Structure 1
Amino acid sequence: MGNTGPAELLAIWEAGLAHHGPGRALLLHRAARPESAADELLSLPVGQREADLYALRRALFGERMQIRAECGACGEAMEFDLDARDLGVRPRERDGPLRVEEGEWTVEFRLPTVADLDAAAHAVAGADGRAVAGVGGRAASGVGGAGDGLLGEDVGVGGPVAAEGGEAAEAFMAAEGGDAAVASTAAARARRALLARCLVSVHRAGQPVPADRLPVAELPEPVQRKLAEAAERADPAADVTLNVACPECGEATRAELDIASYLWAELDHWARDLLLDVHLLATAYGWSEPQILALSPLRRRYYLELCADG
């Protein structure tokens, strides 16, 4: 991770205000991997990006992530903590494509990249021109900041975190759960678009089928299911899905955690709080923004307390 001091993070936040989900995710990923060009970042497997963003989140805001989700059965608000160290873990990458055999079908495919995900989202764009987001579950959201990261004392998150990008493996997998009927069309279109980009070779009864001519919809459902399962095993960090038991009714709710949206919400809240601190200290002491940002969070807080006491 490169230089991610307050001034640099404010610049990332300011640039991100002109973007939405994918653009903001790319800005955050560049902060996590400043030595990598944009094209290189887009060519990484989605799970690698997620792992990088979890590492950035730990460095900036600490390990504890406070999560909020709504019960799909009774609507009860649920809050719980996650340890960011347990998320974004990736197995060792294997060489070559993945292979699935089911009945007379043998399919080889590669893991979806960030560019594949963006292309699939555009392929299922809604009538209003916006990409269809999360297609098969409820979005988990952040409710508060941690306290032991680089910026720990300054952060807190309020309000919901929308899954703006609709995460990768979710499009690769079949829609499940109570929302499946509503999202089935979008999920199927996203899945077909993503599969079409990731197929390497297809054989049926030992005979090659040109992957660029094969409509993904013609692949039997068991084959598509095995493809999704193989992708999830090979890149589990690409889709962090939580099954949360409701303390009120006991029903399980399936919620997707989109780390890019979660981290952006934390950065947005932190940046707005920091700019308010800059305003208060500049008004009280006449200091410039660079001078104020050069102060440690502890010293800024102390000066703010003096301003309040005065």
Structure 2
Amino acid sequence: MAIAQATELLATWEAGLDRASSGRALLLHRAARPDTGGDSEALLSLPVGARETDLFALRRALFGERMQVRLECGACAADMEFDLDAGEFARSLRGPDASPARICEDGWEVEFRVPSVADLTAAARHADARRALLERCVVSAVRDGGDVSAGAPDDSPDGIAALVDALPPAVQRRIAEAAERADPAADVTLNVSCPDCGAATRAELDIASYLWTELDAWARDLLLDVHLLATAYGWSEPEILALSPLRRRYYLELCADV
């Protein structure tokens, strides 16, 4: 890993230590998309699946193809551990369709867009996250050929809220299903069979949390290496980071032999 990359990743890790998961995900996304120049607004406007795809690519670049995953069986509580091929898994994910989508159900015709990172982050702050997401992503609705009106402009907050209130549960479910099909990488779910009892366990693979855990372990190990080599040789942090990982490990082995 080049000194500039190691230094930047350490800065990313340091900045994320006191942030919530959404803030850490944004920092990682900045590292994955250096071409944006750290433009948070541009990153937050991307579909959720685009961010997840970017983070998978960053994870592969930093830590390789092999991902070790641990789950607890939902039926017998056995500890399951298996390897995931990050490259093969990422290739199986289709990119998001950024164009507006449309569903028809029980006389309703609803146009909506797939949630962006900003939509998901904002909706998570509400008690009813699903409703908040609908309010942000529903564009228009027609019932039996007529526009749905609730006494307020359709694009106003009150108009959108009233429109969502008018949507039957079956229509809301269809919207959620259609959004998932349009952006499958936004919600990566594993379905793992337990080797002990054979029961299947479903679990979400949160690539942002997974990658942050790996970055945290890497940063702490690297800083320990810096401490040991600085103590032994009097080198500065930039000098130590400028060493290749192989040479750094060799010097650490020499220190251990003393």
Distance 1:287 1:92, change over 3 A: closer
Structure 1 CA distance, aligned partners of 2:161 and 2:26?
32
Structure showing the higher helix proportion among its residues: 2
* AA partner of residue 10 (structure 2): L
Structure 1 CA distance, aligned partners of 2:165 and 2:75?
32
TM-score (norm 1): 0.75
Higher mean C-alpha deviation, range 46-55 or range 241-250: 241-250
Superimposed CA distance per residue, residues 241-265 of structure 1 (whole angstroms, 9 cap, x where no aligned partner): 0111111111111100101010000
Structure 1 CA distance, aligned partners of 2:171 and 2:4?
44
Superimposed CA distance per residue, residues 18-77 of structure 1 (whole angstroms, 9 cap, x where no aligned partner): 211011101000011122211000000000000011010010001111001111111111
Q: Which residue of 1 aligns with 2:53?
A: 51
Two-structure CA RMSD over aligned residues (Å): 1.8
* AA partner of residue 9 (structure 1): L
Q: Does 1:300 align with 2:239?
A: no
Matches within 5 A, 1:196-207: 196-207=135-146
Q: Which residue of 1 aligns with 2:35?
A: 35
Pairwise CA distance, 1:201: 0.7
Matches within 5 A, 1:1-310: 5-36=5-36, 37-89=39-91, 90-91=93-94, 94=97, 96-124=99-127, 189-209=128-148, 210=154, 212-214=160-162, 216=164, 218-310=166-258
Larger Rg: 2
Q: What fraction of aligned residue pairs are identical, expressed as a percent?
A: 69
* Matched-pair contact (CA < 8 Å) for 2:135–2:161: no
* AA partner of residue 185 (structure 2): A
Structure 1 CA distance, aligned partners of 2:173 and 2:106?
13
Structure 1 CA distance, aligned partners of 2:67 and 2:50?
20
| Displaced runs of 4 or more, over 6 A | none
TM-score (norm 2): 0.90
* Matched-pair contact (CA < 8 Å) for 1:240–1:256: yes
Distance 1:281 1:213, change over 3 A: closer
Distance 1:282 1:54, change over 3 A: same
* AA partner of residue 203 (structure 1): V
